[in-house]
Amino acid sequence: MAQSDLQHAPLARLVEIESRPRRLGSLLGWLVELPVIGTWLARATRAPNKTRFLSTRVTSFHALLLRLTKGRLRRSWLFAAGQPVLALTTVGRRSGLPRSTALACFTDGDDLVVAGMNLGLPRHPAWALNLEANPKAAIEVGGHKIPVRARRATDDEAARLWRRWVEVQPSAQAFRDLARRDIPLFVLTRAR
């Protein structure tokens, strides 16, 4: 997509081809739904995320990798079971400094949506708290850096978006069950 086309194109056009159910995601969803072994597998998958030092280094590295590849890395098989990924840069709610992380995303109409899964940990990810404090952010996807505004989905919209997320990422429900919390969903729209 040419830079001039990107200026007015809906955000969803950047990932719409990749935002669909994948076999790996379906397999992972099936595995984590298995009795006993599924819960163990989901807990093992989120283990590195429990160590904040390791977690922040891995997600920062993933975001850096997305930026350095200038759009050549469009999906993550390791971190997102083949779903499209973007680098989200928020403003730290305490530090005021830019904070970048890599996230799986999916489309909703012209917009993009991200889920604050945090791999099923009982706390919301820092980026979600940052967006709640300051909805202005930037994404980098497909080699393009775009200012966005985030809003948290609520009520019927959140339920509809959650069903869509489970459709494209079937393991999401198991991680939500492990987290025992409401998973925040943020709709990202192009900043005006």
What's the pLDDT tens digit per position in 168-185?
887 788 778 878 899 999
pLDDT at 27: 57
Per-position DSSP letters for 7-53, written without gaps between them: TTS-GGGGTTTT-S--HHHHHHHHHHHSTTHHHHHHHHHHHHHHSHH
The string of pLDDT tens digits covering residues 23-62 is 655 555 656 666 766 666 666 665 555 566 655 666 666 6
Going from N- to C-terminal start, the domains of the chain cover 3-190
Q: Which CATH superfamily is domain 3-190 in?
A: Electron Transport, Fmn-binding Protein; Chain A (2.30.110.10)
The mean pLDDT of 153-157, rounded to a whole number, is 96
- Hunting for tokens 């819960």 — which residue is that? 39
Range with the largest mean pLDDT of 4-18, 58-72, 140-154, 165-179? 140-154
What percentage of the chain exceeds 90 in pLDDT? 32
The mean pLDDT of 141-150, rounded to a whole number, is 87
pLDDT at 78: 46
Q: What totals of helices (H) and strands (E) does the chain contain, helices first?
A: 8, 7
Q: What is the DSSP letter of 181?
A: S
Query: Are 61 and 53 a contacting pair, CB within 8 Å?
Result: no
